[in-house]
């Protein structure tokens, strides 16, 4: 049986907003493809008929326009052989590394050589909302790896440090923490489909018993909880709206890693959080059009 693909290029800066639209609409047949190096992004729909895809695209295009995402050009419809659809992903996803962690497409597993002492997270874009290629994910992961290399200075161990991935999406950040050796790792998302996919990615890497994934939002997922590392790769306006909930979940001496922030939004995000926790250490980085913010809570007296 043939499949139909409808592919439309969107601005790279609008990929996160487009992804949010897909999640909010429950558009299971649509996904975002990103090329972090070329700074390009595409919205791709797969279906068993051209009529179905065009019918889904009309309201989806309207929702994207409301979110401020305008296609770069008109979309292209084409027919794919039933086994060829995955090939369209392979051109856009490649293995990458930071520190001793590698993120590798599952189709490279037969040939990929893991260096001694390193570890790998296998990723399947057909199963995940993301593969870690996007700058927002990379910013979080680089912070996580940097914290891990300085673990003794923080006074934590892999056994004692608690990790929370707030708005976990496909579970990449939480699963990366588990690969680093952390044993108290939790991830939550307000979309049940994200939790299902996180579970699939965990099982694909033999981590299904290492990370606890659950449905929750930034209120229910954080209330009454503390962690040494809290990660939130979510759009800037949501981060600022839930600043108090996020900082309240950080244990004394712990860190809060915020991403999903466009570079021009960074100052506003820092200001919003500094008003809530004026005594915390704050720094930020930029990667392309995107940025992060790291806040560290002082140790208890």
Q: Domain residue spans in the chain?
A: 3-90, 96-296
Per-residue pLDDT of the chain (301 residues; tens, 9 = 90+): 567 888 999 999 998 899 888 877 766 678 888 876 678 889 988 777 888 888 889 999 999 999 999 999 889 998 876 555 556 556 556 788 888 899 888 888 888 899 998 999 988 755 444 556 678 888 999 999 999 988 878 889 999 999 999 999 889 999 999 999 999 999 999 888 888 888 988 999 999 999 999 999 999 999 999 999 999 999 899 999 999 999 999 999 999 999 989 899 999 999 999 999 999 999 999 988 889 999 999 987 5
* Fold that domain 3-90 belongs to in CATH: Alpha-Beta Plaits (3.30.70)
pTM: 0.73
Chain centre distance of CA 233: 6
SS (H, E, C) 68-97: CCCCCCCCEEEEECCCCCCHHHHCCCCCEE
**Residue 293 tokens, joined:** 């913010």
Q: Which element (helix H / strand E) includes 196?
A: helix 192-204
Q: Which of 113, 73, 84, 82 is nearest to 97 (CA)?
A: 113
List, in sequence order, every residue forming a beta bridge with 97; answer none if it has no partner: 102
Q: What is the domain class of 96-296 according to CATH?
A: alpha beta
Q: Provide the H-helix boundaries in 131-191.
A: 135-149, 151-154, 172-180
Supply the pLDDT for residue 120.
93
Angle at 229 (CA atoms; ends 13, 134), nearest 5 degrees? 20
Supply the pLDDT for residue 105.
82
List, in sequence order, every residue forming a beta bridge with 284; answer none if it has no partner: 293
**Residue 107 tokens, joined:** 């189709």
**Residue 19 tokens, joined:** 């992804």
């Amino acid at each position: 049986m043939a499949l139909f693909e409808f592919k439309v290029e969107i601005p790279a800066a609008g990929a996160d907003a487009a992804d949010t639209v897909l999640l909010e609409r429950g558009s299971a047949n649509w996904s975002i493809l990103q090329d972090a190096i070329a700074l390009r992004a595409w919205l791709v729909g797969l279906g068993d008929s051209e009529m179905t895809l065009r019918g889904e695209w009309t309201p989806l295009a309207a929702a994207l326009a409301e979110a401020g995402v305008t296609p770069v050009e008109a979309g292209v419809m084409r027919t794919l052989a039933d086994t060829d659809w995955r090939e369209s992903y392979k051109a856009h996803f490649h293995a990458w590394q930071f520190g001793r962690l590698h993120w590798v497409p599952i189709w490279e597993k037969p040939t990929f050589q893991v260096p001694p002492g390193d570890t790998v997270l296998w990723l399947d874009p057909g199963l995940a909302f993301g593969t870690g290629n996007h700058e927002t994910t990379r910013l979080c992961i680089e912070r996580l790896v940097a914290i891990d290399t300085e673990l003794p200075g923080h006074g934590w161990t892999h056994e004692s440090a608690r990790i929370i991935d707030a708005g976990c999406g496909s579970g990449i950040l939480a699963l990366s923490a588990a690969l680093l050796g952390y044993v108290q790792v939790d991830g939550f998302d307000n979309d049940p489909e994200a939790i299902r996919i996180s579970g699939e990615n965990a099982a694909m890497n033999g981590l299904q018993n290492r990370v606890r994934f659950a449905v929750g939002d930034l209120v229910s997922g954080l209330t009454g909880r503390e962690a040494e590392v809290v990660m939130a790769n979510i759009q800037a306006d949501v981060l600022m709206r839930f600043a108090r909930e996020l900082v309240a979940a950080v244990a004394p001496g712990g860190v809060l890693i915020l991403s999903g922030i466009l570079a021009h939004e960074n100052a506003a995000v820092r200001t919003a959080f500094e008003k809530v926790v004026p005594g915390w250490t704050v720094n930020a980085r930029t990667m392309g059009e995107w940025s992060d913010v790291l806040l560290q809570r002082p140790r208890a007296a």
